[in-house]
A and B are shown apart, each in its own frame.
Chain A
């Protein structure tokens, strides 16, 4: 089951560049929340602060509090590794491990953390690939094919299966379909629809139709600030802020 995320006074920097400013947000559990906004508005940086990926970049800095369920993400006793196990991530460009088979890609998160039970691994790999709607396409060559030999859309679903295999509570998706063709995109969107029964999903997207299709809640970001956060329907039909309206009607961005 997914858990909610509470973000309080979150600020993030790259060196001296203040990329995310004073974000305050309650992301509801077991729903999909879309983050929209023009390029460079801090969407990706914001999402990467939720699983402590931001701090892996040299000179990057974070301030403020993020709570995933009851855990303080930036708390003193919290390890980044632990948080990333609970908050999964799918990246913009599919990034399967090229030296591993399809099977090993999906099992990587468990195997490399010392999980060795063969039979259970087999079950988890199959379940994850089914959840990611990839099972039927790869079941005959699970251990023979390299993860990198799949098509772009299949690779992205493989990355989703890989993230699902470690059974996270939250799934962050950073423009998961922006490098894919329309058919693969609609498959990923269907997937998000399925997944939000059991996971909390945060999806960054450039595509406003996509936000409207998959997310119940939408947040609009502009130059590092959270401008508006509301029900998706409200954002797209009756936004309270002039800047949100300008953006969704295509006046800028």
Chain B
């Protein structure tokens, strides 16, 4: 009798663990498949020229995406400079100060903004920056992507801060540490690894955006010399090459997609490594 029950329990245990493992595989499979296929199609066109040269005129073979790689980096840097402080600041306000009606309003706005199609955000950046400057620019692209980062980062930051136990805030207040210091050095620091994850997720999300860049950064077949010029970006270049009639440009589009993913993974790992130095993990 006892033995039989035990058998049934251990069967259920293994079943649930098996299902969980199965779900993990199902989730990871598409990711692996995409990455594998990108490597398969893209690795052949990936060479030193691809990383160091600008595009050749249509129809000619060779050339590279150096300007698009640099342009993407520049646009993402501008986007992060706008999106990260605003997103984290909003999240801090929502979690630590905005418990009332105004906070509810911001929270709702952030959720709506999160659901706005990215091309609409591109139009907003177009009317805010491009019309004002009278030409396309990396700045406009950065503004568009920066706006997209804000709601993702702010809501995630809020969630992470709310997970920090109230007792830690009380401990800090009890030592006579002012509220702003407590938020900065205790609450944010305790939630930092979660917030960094949120920042990196939003970064990866906007790094691959094409639509908001179409009429903001616009793209450029040459090097752009300032943030006020039309600027190439990897997703734009991939898009343009993918719909072109030339085989060589198709091959370059695959390589560009592969580079985009690799660069995102590398930058995420770097940030994680730098950010985790000197902070104690875990605790209870």
Contacts and interface: CB of A to CB of B under 8 A. Distances in A.
Interface of A: 51, 53, 56, 58, 80-86, 88-89, 91, 93, 95-101, 108-109, 112-113, 146-149, 159, 162-163, 166
Contacts of A98: 168, 190, 280, 282-284
B100 to A, nearest CB: 9
A56 B170 contact: yes
Given A98-B282, A166-B176, 5 more contacts: A95-B170, A98-B280, A98-B284, A113-B176, A166-B175
A53 B173 contact: yes
B279 A99 contact: yes
A100 B165 CA distance: 15
Contact of A89 (B174, B190, B284): B174
Interface in B188-227: 189-190, 192
Contact of B192 (A95, A99, A147): A99
A82 B176 contact: yes
A121 B140 CA distance: 49
Given A97-B168, A99-B192, A112 B185 contact: yes
B176 A85 contact: yes
B284 A148 contact: yes
Contacts of B86: none
B115 interface: no
Interface of B: 99, 165, 167-178, 181-182, 185-186, 189-190, 192, 279-284
Given A58-B99, A89-B174, A163-B175, A95 B168 contact: yes
A85 B175 contact: yes
Contacts of B177: 81, 108-109, 112-113
Contacts of B169: 56
Given A146-B280, A146-B282, A146-B283, A109 B186 contact: no
Nearest to B279: A99
Given A81-B178, A146-B280, A148-B284, A95 B173 contact: no
